[in-house]
Chain A
Amino acid sequence: MSQYSLVAALIALGLASVFYVWQLLARSGTRAARVATAGGPSLTVALPTGAPASGAARYGTLLAANGLAFLTLWMILRSLYTGHGPFSNMHEFSAAFSWGILAAYMAIELRYRVRVLGAVVVPAAFGMLAYASTIPADQAPLVPALQNNLLLTVHVAVSIVAYGTFAVAFGAALLYLVRARIGEERLPSVALLDEIGYRSVTIGFPFMALVIILGALWADVAWGRYWGWDPKETASLVTWLIYGAYLHARTLRGWKGDRSALLLVLGFAAVLFTYFGNLFFGGLHSYAGVT
């Protein structure tokens, strides 16, 4: 049953990605008004008129919302089936990660009414879900260290919010960086992309702090030490520090534009590194218990 909703979400997200990307590529139809202010810098205001491509984006939104609904349904069904949150193996983490990206994206789309971002972020959510569906779903039983329902659920749920918002920031930064290549008139104003990146990080940064702290709390309960320089916890610290650097650079040093966008891209690379880390640091997030 839960597999059906996962497949439905996958299809919805795949189609949504197509519409979003098409909208971005065909966006030259949107009228962009250049308004020169007296004495001030000129502003680009993309008017949300009914250009043909915005129809495609609307389908994109509709499908992405459906994808989110199916994924939410999957999470509920999966939890009912396994008896704990859908956070216990790579299949479940990845589908939940996809949910996080999508939820963060939908919130930003609602807030800023910018659909262009979907062309980057929704395919990312789709990719994550596609990756999840390549991993066998059958639940490997939990090793003892992971048998802590409360901490496991909260730790992973919080990380999904952090990773989701960082994915949205990454999408905004990527559009920022490539805007010269695809033509500015297809994009929302540069300042808006910069703001979306920042706003996402303002949510993600405290959540990431919470992820690290909950991890430390858990390590203390399970192993009797809150910090042990385990590669996974160290990688999450690296991620957090990069976003910390970004906040200072942008807010205090006035790093705007490419440099701060690059930090966001770097930050998301660190997120992916942290996330997939287990695969190459060889299971050193040592779910110990036996040595």
Chain B
Amino acid sequence: MENFQLINHRLLGDSLLISAQKHPSKLVASTNDGEYTYQELLDHSVALASALLERGLQRGDRVAIYMDNSWPTLYSLYSVLLAGGVFVMINPQTKADKLAYILNDSDAVCLLTDIQLENDFIPILSGLPKLSHVVYSSEEKVFPRGVISIEHIDKVLKNVSPSDFLKNRSISSDLAALIYTSGSTGSPKGVMHTHLSMLFALNSLIEYLRISEEHRILNVLPLSFDYGLYQLLMVVHLGATLILEKSFAFPSLIFRRILEEEVTVFPGVPTIFSMLLSSHERSKLCFPTVTRVTNTAAALPADFIPTLKEIFPNALVYKMYGLTECKRVCYLEPELVDKKPKSVGKAIPGTEVLLLSPDGQPVKAGGVGILHVRGPHVMLGYWKQKELSEVMLKDDIYPNQKILCTHDWFKMDDDGLLYFVGRSDDIIKTRGEKVSPVEVENILYSIEGIKEAAVVGVTDAILGQSIKAFVSLKESSSLNDKKIKKLCVAKLENYMVPKEVMIMDSLPKTANGKIDKKQLV
């Protein structure tokens, strides 16, 4: 390790190796568990990487990280990268069935998790043939010996013998992460990102956000959400500092942290900004240290901006748009936020976008077209899903190149700035998360007593879209909307649970007998 000198960032984990070499005693993160330096992050990551290798991790093996925003999540992620593995972040709200699906689909060999989630991960372990190790944090418990070893993370770290943790060192075109996202078929799909695509995206974001190692970035978003994940990746890459919170649930705690920690970057989504605005209405807020405010996931209502500028008087406000398949598509230069309040701007640095008709022809100036994205940030495809990958990655006009079809309708103004018009498929985007109506419908159909189900997105000023379910019931059924929601809560992440459930005698049908969603919207 002492002889290891890196100059170039070739792999995502190099961010940590280089930053720790440069300023070992600088704080990388202030979390609810405590404050940690770059040296501590490196030491913990190296120790866990060595432990993963001792447990047989091979280059390219997938390791799932199913935890909330905590210190162990930070070093877990870098340990997987250093050990040559591929990390799979899983939202801690994910329930047992879907967790099992993702672990099986990704062929994860190791699960890094937290004991608080045991009710979801313990019952599924017997159905995971590829998984051999579980390492968990928080309170220690005794588990009976089984085929899968279940160990506490502190013991694992304590008993590890130093090893050449870089022996599996990847190359930059190797996969770095699978990021699961909801798909139109109802099952989540693993978006394949390489070290190259992630490092490229990272540098592009840093460039247009104009941030450097002095910045102190607040993250209240789940690290399993790529918007949250990239806050961490940017921090470590820059040698900056992350102020990590588990959520925005208690806004006043966050407000205190912003002031005490002198936060400079505040990444949010419209639900967070709306809570911020309603707090400001109750008692005035002002965060002068913040110099960057970013929004993505759903459009930031234009009338939020004047109040946001009161709350953050010294901040550049960034409106952005993206999708997991290429991390981010575009951003609006903050200087234009008043002049072009409805636009999401232009392609991020080093990439380009074009508007094409459904048959692949360029649309004429001012026309509406489907947004396509070119650049090194585009995913390789969906893990083990050739056909679905082809729906998103189309042949480019240049030979042997691929272009990403976002399936979103956009138009472009005379200045080349983009405006979102609507989606061309029926995926719902709520709170910035993609929700497949089929996935929710499948859960509804699994409920005893439901005869028919249809799920649609309804326009919502804050959420982007909210989820509405229409169902019809079998005659004997005594279900009501609350009971149905309750059964959904047990199977789905909170954001996927229909906000409204409407019970109808029967659902409207098209001529060929399919449920006609158009009549329901």
- Report whether chain A binds chain B: no
